[in-house]
Amino acid sequence: MNPVQQISNKLNTYSEQFPSVLEDYKKSFVIHNKNPEYNEYSQIYASNKGALHSLNTKVFVATNDIQKNIDTLNVQISDLDHKIMEQKSINTDLKKKWNSVKGTGNSASEMTDEAKELYNIQYISNVTIVIGSIGLLFLLFSTFRRPINNTAAGYT
C-alpha cells in the first residue's frame, strides 16, 4: 500500500472515530462540571479529554506527513520542470540544426516568419492610430460644437 493510501485510510479512521470521541468528551465534561467532587467523573473526563487530544495529535501528525509529501513532490516537480526546460532548449537547437542540414529552414521560412511578425506589429500600430484619431476628432467636435454664450459674461 502506498503512503497516500495509508494516510487516507488513517484520516478516514480518525474521521469515523471523531464524532463518538467528541460526544463522550461532551458528556463527561458536563457531568464533571456538575459533580466535580466525584473522582470517578473526573477520571472519565480526563480519559475522554486524553482520547480527544490523542486523536487531534494523530490528525496533526497525518497532516504533517501530507505536508512533507507535498514538499517532496514540489521539489521533484521543480527538478523535472528544470529538466524539461533544458530539454526544450536542446530540442530547439537541434531543430534549427536539422533545418539547416535539411536546407529548408534557413532563409525563406525565417524571412517569412519575420515579415509576418513585422506586419502584425505595424497592423496593430495602424489600428491604434486610427482609433486614437477618431477619438480625438470626436472629442474636438464635441468640444467646439457648443456655442459660446458671451452675453452671460457681460459682453454684448
∠ Cα 7 62 71 (to 5°): 90
22 touches 74 (CB < 8 A): no
The answer as to whether 45 is a domain residue is yes
Cα–Cα dist 31/64, whole Å: 35
How much is the pLDDT for 150?
59
Of 5-19, 70-84, 89-103, which has the strongest mean pLDDT?
Answer: 70-84
The answer as to whether 132 is a domain residue is no
Cα–Cα dist 110/21, whole Å: 72
The answer as to whether 117 is a domain residue is no
CA torsion, ordered 26, 29, 33, 35, to nearest 10 deg: 100
Report the candidate in 52, 45, 47 with the shortest Cα–Cα distance to residue 28.
45
Name the average pLDDT for the chain: 88
Report the amino acid identity of residue 146: R
What does the block give as the cell for 93?
Answer: 537547437
pTM over cut 0.75: no
Q: Where are the alpha helices (DSSP H) in 103-145?
A: 107-144
Could you report the per-residue pLDDT of 78-126, keeping only the tens digit for each?
999 999 999 999 999 998 888 777 765 567 777 888 899 999 999 999 9
- State the CB neighbour count (10 A cutoff) for residue 48: 20
What does the block give as the cell for 16?
Answer: 469515523
Task: Please identify which residue in the block is written with the cell numbers 489600428.
Answer: 127
What does the block give as the cell for 63?
Answer: 497532516
Q: How many domains does the chain have?
A: 1
Task: Give residue 75's domain range.
Answer: 3-108
The answer as to whether 143 is a domain residue is no
